[in-house]
C-alpha cells in the first residue's frame, strides 16, 4: 500500500508545469508532446521531445486519456470499416492506417462487413455508438443509405481504395497502373490480349480503362469479348482465364486487375499444359508479397498500399481537426518478373501454333 501511495503521489506531482520547468520549455509544449505517442518528428523538435519524455518517465507521469477526452470532447479513436481482414490487400492498407493513426495519437477500432448490407449497417451503427471521432471505409459495396447515415450527424470519414462522388478518398492512380501494364505487354509485341477485369467497382474499371486506352491508341483495340469480369479472388481469376483461353485467336498475354485473380489464372494455365511466361504472359496488380515467391514470379503493378493507408489516416485526422482536405492518389509502378519477361509475343505465337 505504501508503495502504491508513493507511486500515486509521484504521478500527482508530475504535472505538465513541473516537467516544463525541468525541461526548460513552456507547459503547452509538454502538453503537445505527451498527448501523442512517440514517432518520427522534425529534427529540430526531436531533442526537445526526447528530453520531455525522459523527465516524464523519471517522474512516473502517465497521461490521463479520460481527462483529455472530456476536455476535448474527443475519443481519440477512429473506426475502420472493411469487408474482410483475410484479404492481403486490405490487411496491408490497414497496417498503414494503424501506423499513422498511432503516430498521430489515435487508436483504431476495426470491424468487418463480409459484404453483407445488414451487417454493414449494424457495424456502422456500432462504430458510431462508440463515439469514434471519424471513420475510414474500405468497403467498395456501400450503398447510399450508408453515406446518408454518415452525413446525419455529420461524421468525418475517408474512403480508401475506392471512391464515390462527394466523398474524400485515397486511391491508387488505377488508370496509370493499367496503362503501365498495357505498355509493357505492347513493348513485348503482344497484340492479342485478354483482361481479367474483376468486379465492376471504380478501381477495377479504372485499371481496365487505362489498359484498353493504350491498346486503342496503338491501333489494336481489345474486343469486348476479351474483357471478362470476375471476383477479386483466385476462383474468379480461374473462371475468367478459362473463358479467355477458349477464345480464338487465343490471347498471348493476360492482364488481371489484381494478383489474387492472376494466381487463379496461373492454375488454369498449368491445367491447360501451358507455362506462364513461356506460353502465355501474365501481369497482375497490387504486387502483393507472394507475387515474387510464386513458382513463376509474377509481373505486377505495384500499388503502395501501406502509403495509401497512411494517407487515409492522416487525411481523416486533418478532417477531424476541421481542416479542408481533398481526395488523394498514390502512384503505382510496374515490377517486371518472369511471368511476362521471358520471351516475345512472336515466340508465344509459334508455340501456340499461331
Confidence tier at 276 by pLDDT (50, 70, 90): very high
Identify which of 270, 225, 265 has the alpha carbon closest to the alpha carbon of residue 248.
225
Domain boundaries, position 36: 14-63
Residue 200 lies in a domain: yes
Same domain, 219 and 247: yes
Same domain, 26 and 57: yes
Task: Name residues whose C-beta falls within 8 Å of residue 168's C-beta, 6 or more positions apart in sequence.
Answer: 157, 158, 159, 315, 319, 325, 326, 327
Total domains, the chain: 3
Supply the CATH number for residue 21's domain: 1.10.260
Q: Other CB atoms closer than 10 Å to residue 350's CB: what's the count?
A: 11
- Distance, in Å, from the CA atom of 8 to the CA atom of 49, rounded to the nearest integer, reads 24
Read out DSSP for 89-148?
Answer: HHHHHHHHHHHHHHHTT-EEEEEE-TT-HHHHHHHHHHHHHTT-SEEEE--TT--HHHHH
Residue 269 lies in a domain: yes
Cell of 55: 523527465
Q: Residue 273: helix, strand or coil by DSSP?
A: coil
Supply the CATH number for residue 220's domain: 3.40.50.2300
pLDDT in tens, 312-344: 999 999 999 888 899 999 999 999 999 997 555
Which of 42-46, 89-93, 228-232, 269-273 has the weakest average pLDDT? 42-46
107-112 sheet: strands from edge to edge: 107-112, 77-82, 134-137, 157-160, 169-172, 328-330
Residue 283 lies in a domain: yes
Confidence tier at 8 by pLDDT (50, 70, 90): very low
Same domain, 215 and 94: no
Residue 83 lies in a domain: yes
Same domain, 30 and 90: no
Cis check: omega of the bond before 249, within 30 degrees of 0: yes
Same domain, 146 and 127: yes
Read out DSSP for 309-321?
Answer: HHHHHHHHHHHHT
Mean pLDDT of 230-247: 96
pLDDT of residue 62: 67
Cell of 153: 450527424
Residue 282 lies in a domain: yes
Residue 29 lies in a domain: yes
Residue 188 lies in a domain: yes
Amino acid at each position: 500500500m505504501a508503495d502504491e501511495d508513493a507511486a500515486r503521489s509521484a504521478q500527482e506531482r508530475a504535472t505538465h508545469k513541473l516537467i516544463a520547468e525541468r525541461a526548460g520549455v513552456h507547459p503547452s509544449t509538454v502538453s503537445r508532446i505527451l498527448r501523442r505517442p512517440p514517432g518520427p518528428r522534425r529534427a529540430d523538435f526531436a531533442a526537445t521531445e526526447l528530453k520531455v519524455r525522459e523527465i516524464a518517465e523519471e517522474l512516473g507521469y502517465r497521461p490521463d486519456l479520460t481527462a483529455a477526452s472530456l476536455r476535448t470532447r474527443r475519443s481519440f479513436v477512429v473506426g475502420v470499416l472493411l469487408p474482410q481482414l483475410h484479404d492481403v490487400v486490405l490487411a496491408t492498407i490497414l497496417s498503414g492506417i494503424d501506423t499513422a493513426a498511432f503516430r498521430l495519437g489515435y487508436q483504431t477500432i476495426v470491424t468487418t462487413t463480409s459484404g453483407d448490407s445488414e451487417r454493414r449497417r449494424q457495424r456502422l451503427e456500432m462504430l458510431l455508438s462508440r463515439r469514434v471521432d471519424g471513420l475510414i471505409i474500405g468497403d467498395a459495396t456501400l450503398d447510399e443509405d450508408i453515406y446518408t447515415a454518415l452525413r446525419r450527424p455529420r461524421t468525418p470519414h475517408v474512403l480508401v481504395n475506392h471512391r464515390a462522388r462527394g466523398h474524400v478518398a485515397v486511391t491508387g492512380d488505377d488508370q496509370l497502373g493499367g496503362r503501365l501494364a498495357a505498355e509493357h505487354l505492347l513493348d513485348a509485341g503482344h497484340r492479342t490480349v485478354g483482361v481479367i477485369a474483376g468486379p465492376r467497382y471504380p478501381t477495377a474499371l479504372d485499371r481496365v480503362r487505362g489498359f484498353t486506352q493504350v491498346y486503342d491508341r496503338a491501333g489494336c483495340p481489345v474486343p469486348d469479348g476479351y474483357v471478362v469480369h470476375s471476383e477479386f479472388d483466385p476462383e474468379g481469376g480461374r473462371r475468367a482465364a478459362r473463358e479467355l483461353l477458349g477464345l480464338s485467336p487465343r490471347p498471348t498475354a493476360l492482364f488481371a486487375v489484381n494478383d489474387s485473380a492472376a494466381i487463379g489464372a496461373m492454375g488454369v494455365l498449368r491445367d491447360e499444359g501451358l507455362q506462364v511466361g513461356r506460353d502465355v504472359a501474365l501481369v497482375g496488380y497490387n504486387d502483393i508479397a507472394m507475387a515474387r515467391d510464386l513458382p513463376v514470379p509474377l509481373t505486377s503493378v505495384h500499388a503502395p498500399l501501406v502509403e495509401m493507408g497512411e494517407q487515409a489516416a492522416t487525411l481523416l485526422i486533418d478532417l477531424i481537426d476541421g481542416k479542408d482536405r481533398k481526395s488523394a492518389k498514390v502512384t503505382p509502378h510496374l515490377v517486371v518478373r518472369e511471368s511476362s519477361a521471358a520471351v516475345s509475343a512472336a515466340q508465344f505465337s509459334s508455340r501456340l501454333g499461331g
